[in-house]
């Protein structure tokens, strides 16, 4: 189970200084249920959005379902991340146990709760660039102009992964007309956890009056832990009991596996740091160029999960569920008015993200280890006990590691026209994305997987095809379990599987890797004809050409690295796809 990181918040204190003072109370407003919040707190106020890509448009003039939070709403509602504004957005759902590891769904259209190798059903945009990934990029809401939630489908203007909708995060841009700055500090305390700290600031500096300005944003956050990793034994020992000297095949007794080396209180602390630098040049009265850099890093010690069978806000883990995430976005946007009614936008952006997470797999490995207790038709990689030891020693302690890198280069050109009777947008979009990851699953105790019976099964010479077994209860247990029964009771013949390549000593009992490239080219357009003040006709036309090349590699101890798929019989080593819509 999981709990929110603001569980049992007991105290809140903050200090702030700004050179400009806005409304004392602000709230989210939208064309959906969120609009009621604004009307109750500050009356009806016009909010403009840029979701239509036709410049700033009043939400009152839009027929679509859009909910938005402006700068003051974000500040006064205390919104900081995806989880916080999801609570105020009825159509938006957030699922996640760790900052940077979550997923967002719109209108309840979900793809999968797991973040591993799953495409999102909703798109996430940072300014003009899609940064959609299987684990959502959770941008810290510091000096954000607007958060827009567009219920889907949004296929015309936003394309891939917008089936359920699109989430847009629009940053505040440099303002050459005035100096502005603020600094915020927040301290929070919890009755069942550590204190939390949040420090952020912004400075907007005009360098040339009405022509050029820079804007600097920075923040650092420490979210105190509130989950206790208590001292305990492994799930295998809890379920099967401890082995004793009287057990058949005992090699001198076995020591209980405890988590003493990692047990601690409040172990799920998270640190978030980041900032933005932007420069905006007003080339003329009608044209401007904005160059920006945004970056954020997350360092989390463990997930916000606990085991209710152990205790409230407690669990027994043998390894930390750590998460490290670093991303950077570089963006150049050129905007201008060709005529009073016709505007042009060029948006170029490059995004790179490096992330790595670990997860405790002790109970996971124990689940697979139970299959060592029974016959296996061809092989068994789950006998984690030391080679030659009785199966009761199958008490693994382990973890997995996933290292992942994502890059994305995007370019969009767009023309937008606004007239008395007709509005239209046409454009072209190109994106080149790359993803690669390495996934390793380890067993580390009792000499590691390299010392296990399973590893011995894989690497023992194939010439040794007579293997002894021993009898326990109604079953025969084969220490080497690499063949099928073809002889008298008590013997197995080891039938080779055609690979026959011994593996180097390793504690990895499963490895997989992915290398995928996506290339997308889209030409899009939409038009609206205003028949009257209250009635209009809206149409759109997307033309999308996409190509993906994917290679998945995996390795088990019995095999060299090879192209394969985790699901036997399914061809996925290399794919090319072409689609039109």
Answer whether 554's CB lies under 8 Å from 562's CB. Answer: yes
Instruction: Report d(CA 150, CA 432) in Å as an integer.
Output: 24
Structure tokens at 89: 């957005």
C-alpha dist (Å) from residue 338 to 334, 415, 417: 12, 9, 10
C-alpha dist (Å) from residue 480 to 372, 454, 476: 10, 7, 12
| pLDDT band per the 50, 70, 90 thresholds, residue 239 | low
Answer whether 382's CB lies under 8 Å from 369's CB. Answer: yes
Least confident of 42-46, 191-195, 408-412: 42-46
Question: How much is the pLDDT for 156?
Answer: 64
Least confident of 81-85, 135-139, 381-385: 381-385
Q: Is the pLDDT of residue 57 over 90?
A: no
Looking at residue 59, the DSSP 8-state letter turns out to be G
pLDDT tens track for 336-362: 999 999 999 999 999 999 999 999 998
Q: What is the mean pLDDT of residues 476-501?
A: 35
Which part of the chain is CATH 2.170.130.10?
9-227+266-356
C-alpha dist (Å) from residue 174 to 32, 49, 127, 282, 325: 31, 18, 14, 10, 27
* Of the candidates 277, 288, 344, the residue with the CA atom closest to the CA atom of residue 176: 288
Q: Is the pLDDT of residue 26 over 90?
A: no
pTM: 0.78
3-state secondary structure 188-253: EEECCCCCEEEEEEEEEEEEECCCEEEEEEEEEEEECCCCEECCCECHHHHHHCCCCCCCCCCCCC
Three-class DSSP category at 61: helix
Greater pLDDT, 320 or 28: 320
Question: How much is the pLDDT for 36?
Answer: 35
Backbone angles phi, psi at 334, to 5 degrees: -115, 125
Backbone angles phi, psi at 385, to 5 degrees: -70, 160
Question: How much is the pLDDT for 544?
Answer: 62
* Of the candidates 236, 554, 557, the residue with the CA atom closest to the CA atom of residue 385: 236
Spatial CB neighbours of 255, under 8 Å, sequence gap ≥ 6: none
pLDDT tens track for 180-218: 999 999 999 988 899 999 999 999 999 998 999 999 999
Least confident of 37-51, 226-240, 375-389, 492-506: 492-506
Question: How much is the pLDDT for 220?
Answer: 98
Q: Is the pLDDT of residue 464 over 70?
A: no
Q: What is the mean pLDDT of residues 68-92?
A: 88
Neighbour tally for 90: CB within 10 Å: 14
Least confident of 109-123, 174-188, 223-237, 396-410: 109-123
Instruction: Report d(CA 561, CA 516) in Å as an integer.
Output: 17
Instruction: Report d(CA 162, CA 150) in Å as an integer.
Output: 9
- Report for 34-38, 291-295, 462-466: range of highest mean pLDDT: 291-295
| pLDDT band per the 50, 70, 90 thresholds, residue 480 | very low
In a 13 Å sphere around the CA of 549, the CA atoms on its Cβ side amount to: 4
Q: What is the mean pLDDT of residues 460-464?
A: 46
Q: Which of 191-225 are b and which e, b meaning 16 or more Cβ less than 10 Å from the residue's Cβ?
A: ebbbebebebbbbbbbeeeeebbbbbbbbbbbbbb
Long-range contacts of 426-431 (CB under 8 A, 24+ apart): 426/523, 426/524, 426/525, 427/53, 427/523, 427/524, 427/525, 428/521, 428/522, 428/523, 428/524, 429/159, 429/520, 429/521, 429/522, 429/523, 429/524, 430/520, 430/521, 430/522, 431/130, 431/518, 431/519, 431/520
CATH 2.170.130.10, applies to 9-227+266-356? yes
∠ Cα 501 502 504 (to 5°): 130
């Amino acid at each position: 189970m999981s709990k929110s990181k603001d569980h049992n918040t007991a105290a809140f204190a903050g200090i702030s200084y700004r050179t400009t003072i806005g409304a004392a109370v602000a709230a989210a407003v939208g064309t959906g249920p969120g609009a009621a919040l604004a009307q109750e707190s500050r009356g009806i106020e016009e909010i403009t959005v840029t979701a239509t890509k036709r410049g700033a448009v009043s939400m009152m003039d839009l027929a679509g379902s859009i909910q938005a939070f402006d700068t003051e709403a974000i500040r006064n509602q205390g919104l900081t991340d995806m989880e916080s504004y999801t609570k105020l957005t009825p159509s938006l759902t957030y699922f996640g146990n760790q900052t940077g590891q979550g997923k967002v769904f719109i209108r309840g259209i979900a793809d999968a709760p797991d973040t591993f190798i799953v495409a999102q059903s909703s798109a996430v945009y940072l300014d003009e660039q899609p940064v959609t990934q299987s684990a959502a990029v959770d941008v810290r809401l510091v000096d954000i102009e607007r958060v827009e939630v567009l219920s889907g489908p949004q296929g015309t203007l936003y394309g891939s992964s917008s089936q359920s909708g699109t989430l847009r995060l629009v940053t505040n841009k440099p303002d050459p007309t005035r100096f502005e700055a603020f600094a915020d500090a927040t301290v929070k305390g919890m009755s069942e956890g550590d204190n939390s700290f949040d420090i952020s600031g912004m400075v907007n500096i005009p360098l040339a009056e009405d022509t050029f300005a820079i804007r600097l944003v920075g923040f650092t956050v420490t979210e105190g832990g509130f989950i206790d990793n208590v001292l305990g034994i492994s799930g295998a020992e809890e379920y099967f009991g401890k082995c004793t000297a009287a057990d058949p095949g005992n090699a001198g007794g076995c020591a209980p596996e405890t988590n003493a080396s990692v047990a601690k209180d409040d172990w799920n602390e998270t640190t978030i740091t980041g900032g933005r630098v932007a420069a905006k040049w007003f080339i003329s009265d009608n044209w401007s160029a904005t160059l920006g850099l945004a970056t954020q890093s997350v360092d989390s010690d463990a997930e916000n999960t606990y085991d209710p069978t152990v205790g409230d806000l407690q669990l027994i883990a043998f390894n930390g569920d750590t998460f490290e995430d670093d991303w950077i976005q570089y963006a150049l946007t050129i905007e201008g008015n060709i005529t009073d009614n016709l505007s042009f936008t060029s948006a170029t952006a490059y995004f790179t993200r490096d992330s790595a997470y670990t997860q405790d797999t002790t109970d996971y490995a124990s689940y697979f280890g139970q299959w060592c207790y029974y016959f296996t038709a061809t092989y068994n990689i789950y006998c984690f006990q030391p080679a030659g030891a009785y199966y009761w020693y199958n008490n693994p302690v382990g973890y997995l590691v996933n290292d992942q890198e994502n890059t994305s280069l995007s370019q969009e050109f767009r023309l937008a026209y606004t007239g008395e009777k007709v509005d239209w947008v046409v454009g072209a979009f190109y994106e080149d994305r790359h993803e690669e990851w390495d996934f390793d699953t380890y067993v580390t105790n009792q000499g590691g997987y390299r010392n296990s019976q399973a590893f011995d099964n894989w690497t023992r010479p194939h010439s040794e095809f007579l293997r002894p077994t021993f009898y326990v209860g109604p079953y025969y247990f084969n220490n080497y379990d690499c063949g099928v029964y073809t002889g008298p009771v008590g013997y197995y013949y080891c039938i080779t599987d055609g690979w026959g390549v011994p593996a180097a000593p390793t504690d990895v009992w499963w490895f997989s890797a992915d290398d995928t490239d996506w290339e997308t080219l889209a030409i899009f357009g939409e038009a609206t004809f205003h028949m009257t003040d209250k009635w209009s006709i809206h149409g759109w036309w997307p033309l999308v050409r996409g190509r993906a090349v994917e290679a998945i590699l995996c390795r088990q101890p019995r095999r060299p690295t090879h192209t394969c798929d985790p699901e036997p019989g399914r061809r996925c080593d290399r794919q090319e796809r072409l689609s039109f819509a």
